[in-house]
Chains A and B, each alone.
Chain A
Amino acid sequence: MFARGIKRKCFDGEEDIEGTLAGFKSVPSYNLQRQSLLDMSLVKLQLCHMLVEPNLCRSVLIANTVRQIQEEMTQDGTWQVINAQNTGQASLDRLVSSDILCRSTKEQGEGKLVPSYSSFSKDFEDIQSQDIISDLSTVASVQAPRNPQSNVWEMENPQENRGNFQKSLDQIFETLENKNPNSVEDLFSDVDNSYYDLDTVLTGMMSNTKMGHCDVLESFSSQTTTNSNSNCKSDINELDHIVEILVES
């Protein structure tokens, strides 16, 4: 999975460390691991079941964790607002694909790219409600560059939106029909021993540490915080792979 790819590169001994991490010790910096946790949480929020409603308790707890990290990063000054141009088409493709799963029809009209509880609960009366992670939406939503797919969502009126939503839902149903709904979760299910180092640092420390090299952070950037995706080709491929399973795009 996405995060596992990062782990293997980073924590599995120094011979696996990428060039950009030269000089990096075997125990990663706090900021890096916090970032990794944030990435993992966002992926968890985005990949939700379509056939069965996702667990609201789990979603709330993950979202609260994201909020916590974001608050701390804001205090740190390490939270970077995304420059729309730099996010790039690639990340937008990824987000739209997986995000189709999580948005209500109203949000598709607004072209937002952030998952929300209203879609988790699919509460009819909540079609009006906005994104739960409203702060993140400033980071993740793309204003200027539009790819054709997102144009479809925002240009059409809600009725047609619903139709398109239904069409892509049907597509998703077809791809998922033979799959155990948990097959995506299985990607996350292995306990990777090499991650235990991450545990000791992350769970023990809450104190703010000095920010490490910007390079270090960027090379492990996610779609929500990166300024340049060119370092993340392999990460993109991993997430693409996951999204392909879901959408078969």
Chain B
Amino acid sequence: MAGAGGGNDIQWCFSQVKGAVDDDVAEADIISTVEFNHSGELLATGDKGGRVVIFQQEQENKTQTHSRGEYNVYSTFQSHEPEFDYLKSLEIEEKINKIRWLPQKNAAQFLLSTNDKTIKLWKISERDKRPEGYNLKEEDGRYRDPTTVTTLRVPVFRPMDLMVEASPRRIFANAHTYHINSISINSDYETYLSADDLRINLWHLEITDRSFNIVDIKPANMEELTEVITAAEFHPNSCNTFVYSSSKGTIRLCDMRASALCDRHSKLFEEPEDPSNRSFFSEIISSISDVKFSHSGRYMMTRDYLSVKIWDLNMENRPVETYQVHEYLRSKLCSLYENDCIFDKFECCWNGSDSVVMTGSYNNFFRMFDRNTKRDITLEASRENNKPRTVLKPRKVCASGKRKKDEISVDSLDFNKKILHTAWHPKENIIAVATTNNLYIFQDKVN
């Protein structure tokens, strides 16, 4: 698979954009999660209004050699509704925090979607035939008077317009006191974990009335709380291994075989602080917002406020690679603290071959780092480049000094336009990038 960057590498082209055109963003339309399924044929998004929209890739048209199939809406459903917690007199937001797909086992597709408190297993199935010719029912469903039936016939299946139905199959509720930030399906495809700020629970997909608590970092005295869990993920191959990251920039790898409650980590990944960069904001910017294993399972990637780090699971004392996402923000941390941007949680993702990693930034910029060539590229998700097959122009931010033509100065960046969620097709060079309320799909140039 080709890498990122200019020159002979991938040239990313605009493919599609989904969502409202106008600048006035309805809060319910804010995209909160993006995820491809295991084959890449389906792309799911969740939004702040609790809805899930699934796009399906068109079958490749043999005559259309210049682009891969487009993604079109396949199914839309309301996954979560707002709730009210009467005990605490607080609203529970319906915003979808995460979606994770199960691998496909039969004709239907399954995904887990979660808000702050409740995880739901959804079954998405197709119906393209329906029975016709009932004896006791009219075609519109009304019952016939049995005395009017003079002959009998066998109902037959006739084709109908494709209907995609989403139905909730399991609801996993009441297991989290704090806000769920992660869900991760185990490689055994039978269990999954859900993590909130202070605890991680292990579930069986078939059982909704019980879950096992496997990590609990809540102090006996809440006054002593200084660290929270920010993300968690199962290892892609070892069903006994998972990691969780913290607000202090540490990652703990746990082995469920060691004990029932994995409060003692097997490995602790932490990079010593650079004393020359120390400031009051050091801890905040070290807080890890996302952790993702590579497909191979050999590495894991973490995202903190300014950088992306790749860790070798065999080396705990420092990452093997570090990529600066927007180092020019280091001198602006106080302003970013004031306007709360410093708390933005950016996600990151691997490409299918683990050779390139991608993450978002501000001003609707997103960045890709090629681990082999060590080249990186900054691109922008904007409707201005909206002609299909238009190659995206690399962007550059001018940190200080004289601004060259086509460069953007740090002070002109729009901090309200943030790309927090990105996803990479598991097999091809197709990426999905979410701006506040639009979903952009980019593909590499196919000749």
Contacts and interface: CB of A to CB of B under 8 A. Distances in A.
Interface of A: 3, 34, 37, 40, 44, 50-53, 55-58, 60-61, 63-65, 68-69, 116-118, 121-124, 126, 129-132, 134, 166, 169, 180, 185, 188-193, 195-196, 198-200, 202-206
Contact of A56 (B92, B197, B280): B197
A56 B331 CA distance: 26
Given A37-B280, A53-B179, A199-B332, A131 B27 contact: no
B343 A61 contact: yes
Interface of B: 27, 87-93, 116, 177-179, 197-198, 221-223, 225-228, 230, 247, 278-281, 283-284, 287, 330-341, 343, 411, 415-416
For the complex of A and B, the 7 pairs showing the least CB-CB separation, nearest first, are A122-B88, A203-B279, A199-B334, A129-B222, A56-B197, A132-B223, A195-B335
A138 B221 CA distance: 19
A190 B227 CA distance: 28
A192 B197 contact: no
Contact of A123 (B177, B281, B334): B177
B222 A132 contact: yes
A199 B334 CA distance: 5
A196 B279 contact: no
B293 to A, nearest CB: 22
A63 B280 CA distance: 12
24 contacts: A37-B280, A44-B340, A52-B91, A52-B92, A52-B93, A53-B88, A57-B197, A60-B228, A61-B283, A65-B280, A116-B222, A129-B221, A130-B221, A130-B223, A166-B89, A185-B340, A189-B340, A191-B335, A191-B336, A196-B331, A196-B335, A202-B334, A203-B331, A206-B279
A200 B331 contact: yes
A6 to B, nearest CB: 11
B225 A202 contact: no
B291 to A, nearest CB: 14
B334 A203 contact: yes
A203 B339 contact: no
A130 to B, nearest CB: 5
Nearest to A7: B338
A193 B415 CA distance: 13
Contacts of A180: 27
Contacts of B284: 61, 65
A65 B283 contact: yes
Nearest to B278: A206
Contacts of B341: 191
A195 B338 contact: yes
Contacts of A185: 340
A189 B339 CA distance: 4
Given A64-B283, A203-B281, A40 B337 contact: yes
Contacts of B247: 57, 60-61
B144 to A, nearest CB: 52
A196 B339 CA distance: 13
A24 to B, nearest CB: 19
Contacts of B198: 56
B230 A57 contact: yes
B401 to A, nearest CB: 15
B223 A117 contact: yes
Nearest to B411: A193
Contact of B90 (A52, A60, A61, A132): A52
A122 B90 contact: yes
Nearest to B333: A203
A206 B279 CA distance: 6
A68 B331 CA distance: 19
Nearest to A201: B334
A168 to B, nearest CB: 12
A245 B90 CA distance: 19
Nearest to A68: B280
A51 B88 CA distance: 10
Contact of A188 (B278, B330, B339): B339
A134 B225 CA distance: 12
Contacts of A195: 334-335, 338
Contacts of B92: 52
Contact of A57 (B91, B228, B281, B334): B228
A4 to B, nearest CB: 8
